[in-house]
Amino acid sequence: MSEAARVEPLDGLDTIIDKFRALLASAESNQDDWKEQALALLDRSISETRQDSHKPIFTLAEDDSDETNSESAPEAVVEGKARPSAMSEVRPTLERTIDELESDWNKGVQLLPGDVLRLLNRGKAKSRELEARLPDYETAVAVRRAFVAPLDKLAKLPYTDYDYKFVTNACCENVVGYVPVPVGVAGPLKINNGTPLHVPMATTEGALVASTNRGCTAIMKSGGVSAHVYAEGMTRAPVVQFDRATEAVRLKQWLDKPENFAKIKGEFDGSSRFAKLDRLEMRLDGRQAHLRFTGKTGDAMGMNMISKATSQAMKFIQSSFPTMKVVALSGNSCTDKKAAAINWILGRGRSVVADCVLPASVVRSVLKTTPRAMAEAGRAKLDSGSAAAGAIGGANAHAANIVAAIFIATGQDAAQVVSSSMCATRLEETEDGSLYASVTLPCMECGTVGGGTVLPAQRACLEMLGVAGPSPSSCAPGTNAATLAEIIASTVLAGELSLMAALCTDDLVSSHLKLNRSRLNLYENASGAASQPTVQLLHPQNTIRGKSAERTIKVNCSSIL
């Protein structure tokens, strides 16, 4: 190392010390933010010194550091307003006092991102205000990221190049970025003799898309799948309370009269163009009563719509029962986002069934097993095993896998997978030796408008399926959402067929070792040394060996591909 190179860091340190002496000499005793200024100065000075000390001794081309320096780079402009470059770091500024910044902030004056960060750090501004107060959404996200965590902690969480106008006041709050999830496709899959579709699935579980794709192949070779929505109705169930059970009984008798139901329906339906009340049931529990409203919601999944309509209907009921207390608009007998027998029995959202018949030749050539073996596995696992477990809506192999993957890809409410994946799968050998397969999902809570369906990527997946947005005017309201439910059920059937076949042929473990087990050396072992196993396939030409191998795993290539 040259003498100049050794002295340079010391020169930088001397400069920092000189700046501190000047700052302390000018600080007044009543200046309450001098410590903050000192820390910010130290942070900035050290960063500048590090940048200077890491300049290359030579370059392969002319020195263009002035052109690439983030401080001299032109500011990005969004909707006519300047903002810092998306890749720049938001740091506190020192030019003004906290009192001055707080005063301007409260007056609605536009502040620099670094000034807003200082206010956040001092508790003078709220994180939730950023989108409304800063010039654009991306700047708001950048400031919040700098506030909630060290920049290096969020470095791999992307936040740029995203249209946040679809997120704000619609999908998420206090946004600091977005999580990319891989999207694969399974198909083609022909449903109800329509045009074959490729179904988008967002997942991080290796082998899921490949397995579902194999099921689609088996269905296509068998002529396709039939799928039908046979019932529809989103629910909301308030719980009310009276002084005595006698009054609760009187409410039940009043609700049972057709003329009163008609009045309630008028209030309910008047809350929205698409809300249509179908039925109203009531269950007593002492002096408490649970009212369960069930209605259609067009192409929306409908929770917001049904809640608004129910609230309006309850106000009308209270006008006839002034002593009735509404304890909660949702009393848990709806039931939303919880496994419940009432949903399994009565249904919620859209109830859908899908089935197909697979010739024995297709079962043998694609699924590598026989209809008899599939039917036997179905009785043992789906019927006996589910009964032994006391499962509610769990008589299936892995319906939740497919429902969750399509829900995430198409912008559905992921939490509703808990009930939307309730599924009964049937596998039966027919008289001619074919395989009859069906899935019944009575609680498919999905929609093609509202919620996450407005996000561009999720909408693209819906457009891929031909069901984005509201139904065409030539169709009945809710047609798109019903079609989506049928697509999901059909894809669930494909996934069920492939997994049950893999269980029959004992390919489950080998397929997951091949497709659901990262070979990247991501972690260290207990001693701190990196460890990466050797993975050896049965086919010698496909052998993969790690440089620091400690063990060898033999993997059968699954027949799911």
Catalytic residue among 115, 299, 336, 413: 413
Catalytic residue among 247, 337, 355, 428: 337
- Nearest CA to 532 out of 513, 550, 516 is that of 550
The two three-digit tokens of residue 94, written as one number = 């020192």
Catalytic (active site) residue 355: no
Burial 113-151 (b: 16+ CB within 10 A, else e): bbbbbbbbeeebbebeebbebbbbbbbbbbbbbbbeeee
Catalytic residue among 48, 102, 205, 281: 205
The two three-digit tokens of residue 222, written as one number = 């068998």
- Nearest CA to 416 out of 450, 451, 445 is that of 445
Interacting residues of 384 by C-beta distance below 8 A, sequence separation 6+: none
CA–CA separation, 51 vs 9, rounded Å?
Answer: 11
Instruction: Check if the beta carbon of residue 212 is closer than 8 Å to that of residue 201.
Output: yes
Instruction: Check if the beta carbon of residue 423 is closer than 8 Å to that of residue 396.
Output: yes
- Tell me which amino acid residue 51 is: Q
Cα first-last separation, the chain: 57
- What is Dmax (Cα atoms) for the chain? 98
**What element of type H or E holds 293?**
strand 288-296
Catalytic (active site) residue 54: no
CA–CA separation, 411 vs 35, rounded Å?
Answer: 47
Q: What is the dihedral of CA 145, 149, 151, 153, to 10 degrees?
A: -120
- Tell me which amino acid residue 468 is: A
Catalytic (active site) residue 512: yes
- Nearest CA to 216 out of 421, 464, 430, 498 is that of 498
Catalytic residue among 290, 381, 512, 514: 512
CA–CA separation, 403 vs 439, rounded Å?
Answer: 12
Catalytic (active site) residue 413: yes
Q: How many residues does the chain have?
A: 561
Q: How far is CA 523 from CA 157, 206, 390, 513, 516, in A?
A: 19, 19, 39, 18, 17
CA–CA separation, 227 vs 204, rounded Å?
Answer: 27
Instruction: Check if the beta carbon of residue 552 is closer than 8 Å to that of residue 534.
Output: yes
**Catalytic residue set:** 205, 337, 413, 512
